[in-house]
Structure 1
Amino acid sequence: MTSASLSLGRGYSSLQHLAFVCLGLLTLATPVLAVSFGAAQIGVAEVLEVLLAKLSGADPGGVTARILIELRLPRILLAFIAGFGLALAGAVLQTVTRNPLADPYLFGISSGASLGAVVVITLLGGVGGALASVGLPLGAFIGASLAVLMVLALCGRDLNTQIERMLLSGVAISFLFGALASLMLYFSGPQSAASVLFWSLGSFAKASWQMLWLPWLLVLAASAILLLLKRQILAIQAGDETAHTLGIRVQRLRLVSLLLCSLITAVLVANCGGIGFVGLMVPHMVRLLLPGRFALLLTALVGGLFMIWVDVLARCLLSYQELPVGIITAVIGSLFFLFILGGKRSN
């Protein structure tokens, strides 16, 4: 190894450490700044006063404190864990399939989770049913797991040589489950159809402290396992044969990664609805700017911060109404890929 390559490696390492420090500071500062935006503008000093009073055990009281603590802070925490999980799931799927276009939506996982959630919504008569807090994640996970199992069944026994077929199977399953969800909506009542329509566009408006524990617990647990397996996952980028020589059981690792990504996607789709392009766009952004061995963790953190500010845009772009988050991420993601394609064409 030459001195130039060593110095380049040290440069990338120091750059990533600097990125971690900056992201850590942003992670601390972003909630304080983000909760100040909304229909009721609240100053940062007032936000700090309320948060410090709450952390000290005092009751800040007042309308401002209720807006910050009961309405805005839960949705910011839900937005962060949604971006964190979707970005990490997208990065892992792109790595284990060695396809830069793989993400939970393209792979069929999100469509399966959506179908399971639609079944629960139509059967319970709306998102606010008594069993919805447990039924929605459970139904979404069953649908996502069914999608994964169908994709694996279509690929055959040897997953190591079926990467392209796996991706095409995911596209087919995605369209199939989307058609089934539309069919259920066609035969459902207007109230259920309206609930599913609002939910499918993606929103954090229903965030509350009571429902935060499940997505945070499951997403962080699945993400922790994926991050512990990051060396094995990144080794697949060099090819299955190279990974085998390193003692990695590629087929089992790929299956575990798919199931963990389906769990993350199912929980987030059940609680937030359909939010596209995050798992596809954020990993590309991080790989372009900060490649290296910490790319998975950096991708997750950038995804969480990105989603918080997308939620701020959703609350502030229009007066006295809120845009669905999924619409904003779709617009940003489309423009991002048009920019990338334009740059490659000019080269």
Structure 2
Amino acid sequence: MMDISAAVTAGQGADFSIETVQLDTPKDNEVLVRIVASGVCHTDAVARDLAIAPLPAVLGHEGSGVIEAVGSNVPDLQVGDHVVLSFSYCGECDMCLTGHPTSCATFNQLNFGGCNHDHSHRIHQHGKPLSTFFGQSSFGTYAVAHYHNVVKVDKDVDLALLGPLGCGIQTGAGTVLNRIRPEFGSSIVIYGSGAVGMSAIMAAKIVGCAHIIAVDIHDSRLALAQELGATAVINGSKEDVVARIKEITGGGSHYAVETTGVPPVVRQSLQALRPLGTCAIVGITPKMEIDVFADLMAEGKTMMGVIEGDAVTKVFIPKLVDYYKRGQFPFDKLVQFFDFEHINEAFEASKDGSVIKPILRIGK
């Protein structure tokens, strides 16, 4: 057991507090990672504010760092490896075994249940366990994670930049590249120009979509969307979104990625599709009503949910790093770094939209 510094979430809605906690040594299937940086994701804010995971906890699930210890049953990882930490999965259910670990039968338990694969805890304070988040809890100077969570990455890329590939950025890019797989020359609309939406835009450019349309209500974000590959932008607070999309595409888009979770925008994403169009929902959406007949069935449309970009992380994250190295996936343009002690300011910057993807610098 070792003392580490971690951002503790004591209760629902509480500010993060950097405190000393105790971290157990890794077990046979786990590794110890010295955390260099961690992205700030909307899911962390949801966990804090809505208590979707047991509290108190150490949150954080977009960690990057260096392996410092390796359990006896860990394959293909060594001390000194640069790694990105991502979501947990069992590796044994039908979904995992058929290449869809993001739909793992125990996904919610492993990522939001507060404990590790063996149902025990690795983080403690004052003799009591603290919950783990996404099997990693990367808002700390060190983390223990199952090897399933851990993805080896190139050492010639700034490790502090790579953490968000573990969740938000792979969600946007993977939804396009792994699940929708739009045809060359097709049309796609991205609703919401945050980190997930911008990643989807960059992925659509890689694929070669003819129309890549970004919808948002912030002109500054729409300008960046154009820089990253959007061929047209629509400010939803100033224009009729559905009519404008049908005008640009000649009848509606082939595909849509809905990242906002805002019910009226979800309806727009369906209504702006052409017949047989497909919409992928990746935003956390509250209960809402849709006209199933008019918005879906009558024109043969498809509406699907996509989790974590339907990614096999150990394959997909290195691909994203390679795209970045080639200049095809410049996700660094979304990022602003914050020192670890300014974690609460980083969350405020994410909430008010002034920063698309905050990253906390935690170690070296």
Normalized against structure 1, the TM-score is what?
0.26
Normalized against structure 2, the TM-score is what?
0.25
- Bigger relative contact order, structure 1 or 2, given CA contacts below 8 A and separation 6+? 1
More helix by share: 1
